[in-house]
Amino acid sequence: MQWVSAQQLDAAIDRAQAASPYPQAPVVQALNALTDEAQPDAAFVEALSLRLQACYTTAPAIPSKTRARFNVLTTAINHLRPARSRDAGGNKLLMRLSWGMTIVCTVLVTLALVLVLRPATLPAERILANAAAATARRPGMVEHIVVENYLEMTLASATTTREFYIVEEWRKLDAVQGGAVATTARSTIRYAIADVQRQMPISWGYTAADKTCYLTRDRYGTIARLPDADAVGCLPGDRDARPFVPELAAPNIETDLQLWINRLQGEVAALVYEQTTFFGKPAFSFTEKQGTATFTLYIDPDTTYPLGYVARTPVYTLTQIVHIYEIVVAASLPEAPFAWPPTALGEGFEVAP
Amino acid sequence: MEPQSNDIDNATLVQEVRRNPQRFDVLYRRYVARVYRYCYARTHNHADAEDLTAQTFLKAFESLAHYQERYAFAGWLFGIARNTCAMFHRANYSQPHTALEEESCSLVAVYVLHDKGLEQALLRQELIACIRQALQSLPEEQIEALHLRFWGALNAREIGVALGRKTGAIKMSIWRAIERLRKRCIDETES
């Protein structure tokens, strides 16, 4: 048996990265992976913060453990979770009346909106043509996409695994030989699913003809790079880093959207086309079947931008919800999405050895 | 120039909170995700984890006057979280939950999407599934140390404060737990 000291172990756990050679590394990585999804909901974090602040105002000094003070705190907890709240009878009646009025008003307003704003039926060909035009790529532009990904996968052992995260991607579009438009630089940032404001990147990726770069930041704030990468996490050349770097392999909806829409335009007769909703938004859906798999693209009837994508196969179900899809002029960008190292890291950041 | 909240150490922050309770929000935001993950690992349920997280911070706020700076703040806070979770278990279950819900794993989505390395991704998933199961066979004290180390992201000294044990003993406990998981899920599979 290979013994290591307790100090060595503690340091090794802190350093644990994908390429770490020490024998416990796979177990440490698996334990880390187990914790990735267990993030508090952003709404919960804000609600609890507000409730704590309410405690500060009711208790300007540090509260003593009196019964009355404890009641204030307990009430605050109870109000955090309305479904579990334990209100007095009178409050319950008022709350029910209030909820009843709210529901009635919501139904009426929804009905009115549905009747007034319901989009007119358009033929599938027209929708797809509009979508193709809306997502057309032109040289000098930058495509900016933010997607929320949910993957559920059933393993051979009959266990089910789920993965959730948010990906933001910036793609620089330029003219290449033959007049075609191609992505000449790609910057990809990944966030935890709870980080809806995109404040705390988990990783940054960059690919261009001259280099491929990738950095991660773990929960301890440690910045790590790919094996053999330079001091700022770059490898020379436009190598295919995708097998090693998930974030550089953009979701389908980003990579293949144009080709996909073009292909759908030629297969309209074989598609299932519906007016439906996608996560509460009106949508046109186009579903195609390939063997046992079905793939559905949802398009916004107003903007004809993609709203999302759902792939269902016997092994996995992938749902992608588009938060942002825009094609903007490069010169108008308020930030420098293609800068490397990422500007968000600031100067003098340290990469783990 | 005033220091950023992120740069202020816990001891200074605690002193500030004693003068101005609203500064507690900085401590709260610094630790809420870690406390939540720890409570989630103990309860296996998002709603219960939210309740226990709320109770932990309210108890911490209430008890801050009793906190002694010579102990690591994170260890003190997670000691409260640990007691809160333990009380929850005593009230709700005869045995503490050590099973872990299906969790995220990295790489799988993209491996699948690009049909690259699917076999590797599945093997990795099998490892995670094995570890999830093997965790339940560890002694309770080792499970507790792993929860605090990985879900709470505490270092050995802080775990020592939370569990009332010496730092060296905590490090050895974590090392033994990881070794057991490795033997169970890697060595046995390879042999």
Q: Do A23 and A159 belong together in one domain? A: no
pLDDT at A4: 47
Residue A266 lies in a domain: yes
Task: Count CA atoms closer than 13 A to A226's CA, side-chain side.
Answer: 24
pLDDT band with cut points at 50, 70 and 90 for residue B163? confident
Q: Which among B52, B6, B4, B32 has a CA at the least distance from the CA of A50?
A: B32
Task: Count CA atoms closer than 13 A to A43's CA, side-chain side.
Answer: 3
Residue A87 lies in a domain: no
Q: Across the interface, do A6 and B171 touch by the CB < 8 Å criterion?
A: yes
- Is residue A179 within 8 A of residue A147, CB to CB? The reply is no
Domain count, chain A: 2
pLDDT at A285: 93
Q: Across the interface, do A220 and B153 touch by the CB < 8 Å criterion?
A: yes
| Residue the block writes with tokens 């790489």 | B107
Q: How far is CA B36 from the centre of its chain?
A: 8
Q: Do A11 and A132 belong together in one domain? A: no
- CB contact, 8 Å: A62 with chain B? yes
Q: Across the interface, do B21 and A45 touch by the CB < 8 Å criterion?
A: no
- CB contact, 8 Å: A35 with chain B? yes
Domains of chain B by range and CATH? 5-98+138-190 (1.10.1740.10)
A 156-175: CB under 8 A from B: 156-157, 159-165
Q: Across the interface, do A242 and B104 touch by the CB < 8 Å criterion?
A: no
For the stretch A253-277, pLDDT in tens is: 445 567 778 778 888 888 899 999 9
pLDDT band with cut points at 50, 70 and 90 for residue B91? low
pLDDT at A114 over 80: no
- CB contact, 8 Å: A139 with chain B? no
Strand, helix or coil at A316?
strand
pLDDT at B186 over 50: yes
Residue A213 lies in a domain: yes
- Is residue A155 within 8 A of residue A172, CB to CB? The reply is no
Q: Which residue has the higher pLDDT, B155 or A106?
A: B155
Q: Do A138 and A285 belong together in one domain? A: yes
A13: chain B residues, CB-CB within 8 Å: 149, 174, 178
pLDDT band with cut points at 50, 70 and 90 for residue A171? confident
Element (H, E) at A184: strand A181-191
Distance CA B29, CA A90 (A): 35
Q: Which of B153, B171, B179 sits opposite A10 (nearest CB)?
A: B171
User: Which of A62, A66, A290, A318 to probe the B interface (max B CBs under 10 A)?
Assistant: A62
Q: Across the interface, do B153 and A151 touch by the CB < 8 Å criterion?
A: no
User: Which of B30, B66, B104, B123 to probe the A interface (max A CBs under 10 A)?
Assistant: B104
A 66-95: CB under 8 A from B: 69-70, 73, 76-77, 80-81, 84
Cite the beta strand spans of B11-121 per DSSP E: none
The enclosing domain of A245 has a CATH number of 2.50.20
B 94-153: CB under 8 A from A: 100, 102-114, 116-117, 122, 124-129, 131-132, 146, 149-151, 153
Q: Do A28 and A173 belong together in one domain? A: no
Residue A68 lies in a domain: no
A33–chain B nearest CA distance, Å: 5
Q: Across the interface, do B50 and A80 touch by the CB < 8 Å criterion?
A: yes
User: Which residue range forms the structural domain that includes residue A325?
Assistant: 124-345
pLDDT at B181: 87
Torsion of CA A109, A111, A115, A121, to 10 degrees: 120
Q: Do A31 and A128 belong together in one domain? A: no
For B184, residues 6+ apart whose C-beta sits below 8 A from its C-beta are B130, B134, B137
pLDDT at A277: 92
Distance CA B173, CA A131 (A): 58
Q: Which of B29, B62, B127 sits opposite A30 (nearest CB)?
A: B127
- Min mean pLDDT across A88-92, A246-250, B171-175 is at A246-250
Task: Count CA atoms closer than 13 A to B187's CA, side-chain side.
Answer: 10
Mean pLDDT of chain A: 71
pLDDT at A124: 82
pLDDT at A33 over 90: no
Percentage of chain B beyond pLDDT 70 is: 75
- CB contact, 8 Å: B8 with chain A? no
Q: How large is the average pLDDT for residues A210-225? A: 78
Q: Across the interface, do A48 and B57 touch by the CB < 8 Å criterion?
A: yes
pLDDT at A71: 44
pTM of the predicted structure, to 2 decimals: 0.46
Residue A55 lies in a domain: no
- CB contact, 8 Å: B45 with chain A? no
pLDDT at A145 over 60: yes
A48: chain B residues, CB-CB within 8 Å: 28, 32, 50, 53-54, 57
For the stretch A285-323, pLDDT in tens is: 999 887 777 888 899 988 888 898 887 877 677 788 888
Residue A73 lies in a domain: no
For the stretch B130-155, pLDDT in tens is: 888 888 889 988 998 988 988 888 88
Q: Which residue has the higher pLDDT, B111 or A232?
A: A232
Residue A149, phi then psi, degrees to nearest 5:
-110, 135
Q: Which amino acid appears at position A272 of this protein?
A: V
pLDDT at B20: 81
A–B: how many Cβ contacts below 8 A? 208
pLDDT at A92: 52
B9–chain A nearest CA distance, Å: 15
pLDDT band with cut points at 50, 70 and 90 for residue A77? very low
Percentage of chain A beyond pLDDT 90 is: 4
The ipTM assigned to this model is 0.74
- CB contact, 8 Å: A55 with chain B? yes
Q: Do A132 and A280 belong together in one domain? A: yes
B94–chain A nearest CA distance, Å: 23
pLDDT at A176: 79
Q: How large is the average pLDDT for residues A199-218? A: 83
A45: chain B residues, CB-CB within 8 Å: 29, 32-33
User: Which of A1, A4, A10 to probe the B interface (max B CBs under 10 A)?
Assistant: A10
A 210-229: CB under 8 A from B: 219-220
Name the token pair of A59: 């208790």
pLDDT band with cut points at 50, 70 and 90 for residue B113? very low
